[in-house]
Amino acid sequence: MDYRYVIVGGGLTAASAIEGIRAHDPEGSILMISRENFPPYQRPPLSKELWFGRTTKEELPVHDDAFYREQRVELALRREVVELDVAKRRVWDDRGIEHGYERLLLATGGSPRRLNVEGAEIEGVHYFRELEDYLFLERHLDRFEHALVIGGGFIGLELAAALTHAGKHVTLIYQKEYPLANILPRDLGLFVADTYRQRGVETVSEDTVVGFDEAQGLVHARTASGGVVSTQLVLAGVGIVPETDLAEAAGLDVDHGIVVDELCRTSDPHVFAAGDVAEYPDLVLGRSRRVEHRDQAIQHGRCAGANMAGAGQRYEHTPFFYSDLFDLGFEAVGDLDSSFTTEAVWREPLRKGVVFYLNGDVVRGVLLWNAWGGLEWARGLIRESRAMTGAERAAAIPALH
């Protein structure tokens, strides 16, 4: 069957693209093909709010079922697109069904990066990204007392906090000296590690897992330093790999993700890409990048949908990202690269304040550490892209809560 719009992927980017399409084309037929068991849902709460009682599973869906009926969107769940022919403007799913399109959106996101070590395929080693992963943990909470979490990035830290809050003993292992080492300045990263230890998390820094064995109902993780961590459950959170296979096989330009222009178009003018999988030109920062966070999924997906319907909107948004780490939390915008010069203005040392990421005297990124309400100010500061003295930067900080 032929459609005006076909969306490959069923996450927040896809749901936002539907909104973008309908804002400019209320009638065109839409098909969304997703390998998920559920319509689009919010992913961040799976490792954050659900565990702390700040939201419920009933609140996860991006839209209720009525939205898709009212917007005349055909949902094809538990399907995977296995072939794309851009010349014929056709896709084929894993049931062999052919779908034609006028405009196609690749919102395929990413899959968890797999551990490439001996024993990584044993039953006790798990990954965490989808609602199914949360439901598995929820069902099995009473079957384990200790978990090994691998990875010092967002997902590893959030899962370690979530499981500790759920009353489990957690060992957290990460490669660098401190968690979030690619983002946080050293003093702040060490403070996060110390906070986790104070909350009961056993942290193992500057080490990696090199293999797994099973014995006597336990998983034994061998580390590069010669240590062994024995556990009942392993959760690996070592990043995602963008799902670019379809695009590559179809001959579309792919680099760190599917390459798109400022209108979200790929190298084929009838194919668009957005969200986690897309490498896009950040018009504010002046470089190409791929962003894996919620705000990017919403804004980039909405822009892609609008442009599929002919809006011609340039994507000029600077996305923010956030995390919750026990009683620590932050929002951030721009280039947060720990190799940049950083300058902190603390209201309470290491617990509440603003960290500037500087290229010379120009602000490239802003970290709002336990300080809320400053995102638009931070975006404006980055857009200005002008040299400022430290005193000027400190004086520019608005009242934050």
As a whole number of angstroms, the distance between CA 49 and CA 102 comes to 39
57 vs 161: CA distance, rounded Å: 19
| Contact of 343 with 308, CB cutoff 8 Å | no
Q: Based on the number of CB atoms within 10 Å of its own CB, is 392 exposed (0-12), middle (13-18) or buried (19 or more)?
A: exposed
Q: How many CA atoms lie within 13 A of 306 on its CB side?
A: 15
* Residue carrying the six token digits 């037929």: 29
Predicted confidence at residue 338, as pLDDT, reads 86
The pLDDT score that the predictor gives to residue 131 is: 97
Give, to the nearest 10 degrees, the angle between helix 154-165 and helix 186-198.
20
Q: Which residues of 261-272 are buried (b: 16+ CB within 10 A; e: fewer)?
A: eebbbbbbeebb
Q: Which helix (H) or strand (E) holds 393?
A: helix 390-396
- Tokens found for residue 267: 């190298």
112 sits in which H/E element: strand 110-112
Reduced to 3 states, what is the DSSP secondary structure of residue 21?
helix
> Which ranges of 267-370 would DSSP assign to H, the alpha helix?
294-308
The neighbour count for residue 296, using CB atoms within 10 Å, is: 25
Distance between CA atoms of 365 and 81, rounded to whole angstroms?
Answer: 37
CA atoms in the 13 A half-sphere facing the CB of 147: 29
Is residue 185 within 8 A of residue 338, CB to CB? The reply is yes
Task: Dump pLDDT digits (tens) for 140-163.
Answer: 999 999 999 999 999 999 999 999
Instruction: Please tell me the distance from the alpha carbon of residue 219 to that of residue 230, in angstroms, as a whole number.
Output: 6
Quick one: tokens of 222? Answer: 């061998």
pLDDT at 47: 97
Parallel, antiparallel, or unpaired for β 98-106 and 90-93? antiparallel
Which residues face 3 on adjacent strands? Answer: 101
Please give the structure tokens belonging to residue 87.
């010349």
The amino acid at residue 36 is E
Q: How far apart are alpha carbons 146 and 38 in whole angstroms?
A: 30
Give the single-character DSSP code of 32: E
Residues of the chain with pLDDT under 70: none
